[in-house]
Structure 1
Amino acid sequence: MLGYPIPANETQRLAALHQIKLLDTPDDPVFDRVTRLATRLLNVPIATVTLIDADRQWIKSRVGTDTRETTRKVAFCSHTIAEGAPLVVEDARQDPRFSANPFVDCENGIRFYAGIPIFSSEGYALGSLCVVDTQPRHLHEDELAALKDLTDILNDEIRLREHLTREQQRRAISQRELDALHRSLEEQIERRTRELNLVIESAYDAYISADENHRVLDWNRAAAAMFGWSRQEALGQSLQALIFPHGVPEYDDATPIEVNACRRDGRETPAEVRMKSLRVEGKHRYSLFLHDITERRQLEQLRDREAREDALTQLPNRRALDERLLDAMARARRLQQPLAVLFLDLDGFKAVNDDHGHAVGDELLRDIAKRLRHSVRETDYVARWAGDEFVIVLEGMAPEAIQGLSEKLILTIEAPIQLGEMSLYVSTSIGVASYTPASNETAQELLKRADVAMYEAKQAGKAQVKIAQQGKA
């Protein structure tokens, strides 16, 4: 047997008691004022504010006694908190609950006790305000009311302490959460910084960070490989001295630009540059990513050449001819120089294809293309129009010389073509159209006149040259 009653909500009660953190604290003016008032109002020698812990009674405030702590077993207040209501004992020696209590059964022991429970905001009895006398006495209604009023002061103080404690706990929790968040953010920033540095350092593209004066602050491995300067050599150097001898390009946050960047050995490297301006701690910073586009440029040039080159003969194709002829006509107008177009169609090519197959026909066309290139001036332009048709653009050639060149081309084409043990023979019909700079003739109209003249040459017996009628004025 414990010798004292246990409230049904003991676990919750103790949790509430410990939460307000009043146990084992120094004397407090608020509590001491109440105990002093209690002794005066009720004219008793002893008054205390007690708190009932798990196995002890701890006295927060006291008047008339030096006792600070007792076991819970001998505490009258153990019964007060268990009943949760005022407890009045007029003569403890006559009460079986307390008659054997060592604080009763002694000289000048407790004879009178009156205790009012002190409650938490949630209704848990934490202890009591009690008055004690060494003589039996009767507690009047007005005295009980006064004791309850004083207890209400303590209850208000307890609730205030609870509120302050909860607020402190809330702030402490918030601070811990904030500290944890800061640590988490710092860890994330540190992790992301490491990841970003790793990405930048291992990036395929060159990365350069520069200050407001375009002096290098960072320089990754790709930059070192691309330009030939190590990171240590590049740090602190100006971008103009290292890679932009003609000046640092104007940056555009949205659009990449293409520039020729200079390597350490003096060679230029075409690069696509993405440049961004940042403001860090009130200072300008520039971040540059440079991508080597040498292969892309080469591929573009290859595609451009393929788009304008006949795959079979490696001569310019019809698209390239259209562009060249427009330029030639513009030069003829500007320089007032002669310009002529020769339209050639092979005679007998279909028979070669029919008798020997398309592979032989392709070889023949390649041979004819070589003969044509070698038979004209370096400045003349030879293109494959389609099938077995070719076009030659002659710039600055006197009209009287064109007839002689055309007849020479016929003889050149008529020479036997040796493919293995086979000797193949074809000829060509040529239509010639001269361009008059003062006319408003278009390139297509000029070609059409040469084409018509070529068909006239075929109809006249083939292997001939026909001069087209003059174009429209």
Structure 2
Amino acid sequence: MKSPAPLPANEPARLASLRRLHLLDTPVDPEFDQLVELACLLLKMPMGLISLVDEDRQWSRGRWGLAVQQSPRDTAFCNWVVADGTPLVVADASQDPRFAEHPLVTGEPGLRFYAGVPLCLEPGLVVGVLAVLDSQPRTLNEEALRQLELLAGQARALLRLRRKRHMLNEQALLSDSRLARYQAITQGAAAGIVRIDGRGLIQEINDYALNLLGYRRDEVLGHNVSRLMPARWAPHHDHYIRNYLEGGEARVIGKGRRVAALHRNGHSVPVHLAVGQVHQSGPHEHAEFIGILTDLSEMHSAEQRERRAAEMVARQQQLLSVLHKGLTDYHALMSGNRLWAFLQDALRTLTGSDYSLIGEVLPAENGPALKVHAITDLSWSEASRQLMQRWQAGEMLLTNPDSMLGRVFAGGETVLSNDLAEDPRRGGFPPGHPPLHNFLGVPILDDGEVIGMFAIANGRDDYSQELVAWLEPFTSTCALLINLYRQLNERDAFTEQLRQTRDEAERASRAKTEFLSSMSHELRTPLNAIMGFAQLLLNNQRTPLDERQHRQVEQIYKSGNHLLTLINEVLDLARIEAGRIDMSFEAIEVADVVREACDILSPMAQQQHIRLQPQMGRCGAVTADYTRLKQVLLNLLSNAIKYNRPQGQVHIGCRCEGERLRISVRDTGPGIAADKLSQLFQPFNRLGAENGAIEGTGVGLALTKRIVEQMQGEIGVETVPGEGCEFWFCLPLATPAPAALTEALPSRAPAEGAGRTVLYVEDNPANQRLLSELFEPLDGVELTCVPSAELAFEMACASPPSLILMDINLPGMSGLEAALLLGRHPRTRQVPVVALSARAMPEELNQARQAGFRDYLTKPVDLPRLLALLETLTGETS
């Protein structure tokens, strides 16, 4: 522990002043305990004491909540008050080096807070301390410290009185000079002192008490002390004294408590009353009591202010709660048609009013009119009840501008009346109308325009302009809600138009889908024959083409393949825009996809004399759809090749940016003008290259952007005209998936061709010839072509084939219907059926799977895939 407080310079004189009190080691005086109790109650402290500081100890004259009577001086908190002679406040003793190791801090009761005020009977001589304590850290504001100092003044008065009482008891007779000094003390005390006899009659009263209660001395001397008490206590006072003198319970004597004294003009004065008996021998009627009155008016006023402030805070919180609910639960309240009733009930509660009304101002032919949204029931008859129901239903509007309500909603006035019966602005009430004694009407404004109003009546307290100001947040909230309400009604008014627009958009979307499906079919059907026969010519081993013919047919195939790519891009873009493209997300190593894309485009780059330079390093994996990621890279790389300069380069790189991977494709071409960058990713916009030598539809970049965004990514471009472009896109990083462990499938010898039959259902002669040419060189495979599903069903039932290839769009029965029929017939349910159609929309593929097709091939047919499928499926049935 830190060294104890130093002794004051006047220590001998201080001890002499203490000795003159004759209080050390004397019996308990209730007055001191009561004063300490009062201090604890006023300051809301659990412990307190009045301590006298002797030469080597601290001794408690009065205490509350503490069991310790005395303790060594050098460890006492009050020793520091004696040393400094000024008040001491310790917010947290455990953090103060002077007291951190004090036994009352480290042990029971675990003291943390201490506030002490010195007690001096003579200037500069501190004989003791009035202190309050707590086991929790606290602070003490200026008002509380002032209260403690006032109570310390009462403690000093008690000490002086106790010293005088001791002097009087030492002498058998009280000399005139000593009596004069006693009177001087009582008259000069900073507290009211009243002496009464055993009958309750006032024998003496000092000037302080007379000034406090407004009496002259002759008006109270000889009168019963109950004259100074409020009516609720006065009749019981004599009974308390008589009961005490007869040995009963001390209800008043020896106790201190807060009471109210009665001023001469009739108002109450808050005081603390401590009553003690003057001990002397003799009969009861000779008994005397002294009452000490401490004026608590300042404390009472402070408490009243604090209570009013607390009530105001509670009202503010209640107001804020109403505003918060009205704004945050607006849609819920509106959907349940409870908004206006909620605001009306809240208004009544907030203002303590019996009646309230909230309405909206609407334009009418003859001026503003009020539509009532909510009103407290004021009906007094069946006719008035029906009238109010019509108001609330909006069937009737209030239009009279000269009524008290009209002055508000039509004139924009704030109408306030606390004497409605005598108010000349009030119109007459019909017989039976509930009585109204006060009224307040407030307009609800929006940019100076009256858009509504609310009104209240029969408040418990008078209405005032202060109330109007306090309700301003409520008024502003009502303005906001009325505007929201109007917007909601306007939205409802447009709902039908929006529904019609939506229906038209859906019809347009269906027409678009049907158009795309039709376009797909109409374009793919001739492409099937063009590309199919081109493949047959290129792979014909019996009559091979010469070099010139081979080059020409190869160009036909490449052109058809390019046209197919363009068709697929347009269809892909339409699917993505319609949200109908499915993706399968997985962890994909970007370097592998880049390498594969470069391998695919390497011949194209070589033909254009462009060098591909992938510099991937350790790119890691991204979460994406493998096929679509590859499509994005192919689109960007092919553009970088096509729009490059001769002998140019294409650089492919990647780098991590936080939780994403950025992949970039940079070319050495002419770049893009800055004024055209905003049009770059728009479909069918080729930025002026429509008439150039490079082919395209202008949907590649638009499609790429849609794909990247659907994979939760972002795409952009950086360009310097004359130096090239760098297209980049970012995708979310992913942990690379572990390599799948696959078991080696047992090899199976290819099925022999003998006995394999294929039934091809197709009404287009060109497509029939194509398949016939394809199957002609295949040994042991017999192809039969039929033009309708009905004929195909009869032939399949008569002699089930090994495989059925079926178009979807057939005359008569469709391919879907035929597949369902074949799947139900016992003779054909085991025959695999494969769709071969020019239709390639996702919904059409789903319909085919549901109809029982084993696979779905789109035209133009991929001949290698068809042959592989033929080998697999006919092998199952051989």
What TM-score comes out, normalization by structure 1 length? 0.35
Whichever of the two has the greater Rg, that structure is: 1
> Quick one: higher RCO (CA 8 Å, sep 6+), 1 or 2?
1
